[in-house]
Homo-oligomer: A and B are copies of this chain.
Amino acid sequence: MLPQSRRDLILRTLRADGPSEVRALADKLGVSQATIRRDLEHLDTEGRLTRVYGGAMVVDDDHDDPWADVAAERVEDKDAVARACADMIKDGETVLLDIGTTAHRLARLLHGRALTVITSNLAVFDELRDDENVELVLLGGVVRRAYHSLVGYLTEDNLRQVHANRLFLGTSGVRGDGAVMDTTVVEVPVKRAMIKAADQVVLMADGGKFPGVGMARVCGPEILNVVVTTASADPATRRAFTDAGVEVVEA
């Protein structure tokens, strides 16, 4: 057993079974606890795991990465929304995926599907770049590292040249009157261009987005065709959607 293989195995064990003690790892791998300690120290300095007293755990996501913080929030809700969205997509369709973590969760469910996916979401790109089944179209733009996205006039230009059956739109929050909001102003023109490029607009907004934050208004409820949300969504806002003729799906 090579030292490097052993370290890889430690990481895989931690990812599969969660935090583990030094003793358990030593028994499992058939080496002394001293060796395990040295391995853990090594992997810790590499940033691949977090050393804790008595053992180690998989690395705690970067906190200076706004994406990581958001990505960890309400994962179950977002996955539920993503599943409902994935069920709406038929093979052969062209779908447009907005930036944000919910769209990324949706992309995870599209592996192996015969689809064309258009996106400016780098997390979606990373998820699907090796999947031969998916025809993947990346919109141009300036790389915004903190948001894992591409933005700018190049993105908008590209969006004027493409067309999709469905847009899956993310949001930072929904106002009581059904208006879709966003905190990052620079993304708003991109979102509007996406809306123009799609036949149908599906808003992905788990219950935590009702009522929501965001200084910039992206669009009103009348633009939307479907809203996919969860049980915890505010009833008044839901009514605003149904009143505007939007189909509300509870995932």
Interface residues of A (CB under 8 A from B): 2-5, 18-19, 21, 50, 52-55, 57, 62, 122, 125, 129-130, 132, 135-143, 145, 150, 152-155, 157-158, 161-162
* Docked CA distance A196–B150 (Å): 23
Contact of A4 with B141 at beta-carbon distance under 8 Å, contacts A130-B62, A153-B161 already known = no
The verdict on A161 contacting B157 (CB below 8 Å), with A19-B4, A143-B136 known, is: yes
Q: Assess whether B130 is in contact with A138, with CB atoms less than 8 Å apart.
A: no
Query: Within the complex, what minimum Cβ distance (angstroms) separates A13 from chain B?
Result: 14
Give the oligomeric copy count. 2
Residues B143 and A137 in contact, CB atoms below 8 Å apart: yes
Contact partners of A145 in chain B: CB under 8 A: 129-130, 132
How far, in Å, is A104 (CB) from chain B's closest CB? 16
Q: Which 6 A-B pairs have the closest CB atoms?
A: A140-B140, A4-B52, A140-B158, A136-B143, A139-B140, A5-B19
Assess A141 versus B142: contact at CB under 8 Å? Given A57-B5, A161-B157.
no
Which B residue sits closest to A135, measured CB to CB?
B142
Q: How far is the CA of A155 from the CA of B157 in the complex (A)?
A: 11
Pair A137/B141 contact, Cβ less than 8 Å: yes
With A140-B139, A140-B155, A161-B157 as known contacts, state yes or no: A54 contacts B129, CB within 8 Å. no
The winner among A50, A143, A152, A155 for most chain B CB atoms within 10 A is A143
Residue of B50, B129, B138, B143 near A129 (CB, 8 A) is B143
CB neighbours of A132 from chain B (8 A): 145
Closest partner residue, chain B, to A3 (CB atom): B53
A226 to B132, CA, bound (A): 38
| Identity of the chain B residue whose Cβ is nearest the Cβ of A140 in the assembled complex | B140
Q: CA A2 – CA B153 in complex, angstroms?
A: 48
Give the chain B neighbours of A53 by CB distance below 8 A: 2-4
Partner of A52, one of B3, B130, B143: B3
Interchain CA distance A152-B129 in the complex, whole Å: 17
Closest B residue by C-beta to A137: B142
A132 to chain B, nearest CB (A): 7
21 A–B contacts from the bound complex (CB under 8 Å):
A2-B19, A2-B55, A3-B53, A4-B50, A4-B52, A4-B53, A4-B57, A5-B57, A125-B143, A129-B143, A132-B145, A136-B142, A137-B140, A137-B141, A137-B143, A137-B152, A140-B141, A140-B155, A140-B158, A154-B158, A154-B161
